[in-house]
Each structure stands twice: as structure tokens, then as C-alpha cells.
Amino acid sequence: MMLLIAYAVAARLLGLALPAEVELIELTMGTMVMLGLAYTEKVQGHITVGLLVDQLSARWQAAADMLGVALIFLACGVIGWVTLEVAVEYATTNPLSTDYLSIPLSPFKFIIGFGFWLWGLQAILRIPTILQNAREGRVSVASGGHA
């Protein structure tokens, strides 16, 4: 995607427009972002602000983290399900494609839906760590607390 953007910018500086550059960048960006969110959850790379939570005991921090995991799982499950339903609709009854290159949107919708599900499942995998931290009286995040 970076090379595509760099090429598009260079082509515009030379007065040559790359056809459908916006379509290609949008499709690759959506795919990369949705699959990247699950990885970011795995390495606990999401930003957390613990202004209030950091003042609580380790057990209450664990409870707050469990609530967060449950909300992430629920939201990602619902959004993933709806996105997959739309992908099936785009693939079967109501085919939809990009304007210029006529690339079908259904494969990208499938990737986005699965990306949401992977993110939610990755959040669930944090539960054993959260429970162990609560039992041992450690703060909730491996870096020593919320950011």
C-alpha cells in the first residue's frame, strides 16, 4: 500500500494520473487495518487510559478489564456478523463492485468481517492473563498499569 501511495503521488507530480488509485488504496487499507487490529490486541498495543482504573485494587482492575474484554467481544461479534451478512449479500443476491475497476466488494467484506471476529476472539484469549494477575495482586496490563 505504501508503494502504491508513493507511486500515485509521484505520478501526480509528473502530471500522470493513476487510474483508480483511490479505489485500490481504500481496499488495501480496509483489509490491512482490520487484520491488524487482531494483532494489536494480541500484543496489547491498544491505548488505554486508566485515570480512574489505576486507582483501584488489582482485583477491581481485573474486573474492569474483564468488562472491557466482554464489550470488545460483543461489539466485534455483532459487527463481524453483520459485515459477513453483507458480504454474502454482495456475493449472491446483490453483487456490488467498485466504480472504476469493477472489483467485487464481497471478498473485502469477508476479510473485514473475519477481522472483527479475530479481534474479538483475541480479546477473549486475554481472560486467563487477567484472572492470573488478579489472583497474584498484579496490576492489569503487563507494562505496569494503564497508560
pTM: 0.81
- Give the torsion through C-alpha atoms of 32, 33, 36, 41, to 10 deg: -170
Query: Whose CA is closest to 21, among 39, 36, 5?
Result: 5
pLDDT in the model for residue 141: 57
Rounded to whole angstroms, the Cα distance separating 4 from 1 reads 5
pLDDT band at 143 (very low <50, low <70, confident <90, very high): very low
Burial of 129: CB neighbours in 10 Å, binned 0-12, 13-18, 19+: middle
Q: pLDDT tens across 29-87, in order?
A: 988 999 899 999 999 888 777 788 888 888 888 898 999 999 999 999 999 999 999 99
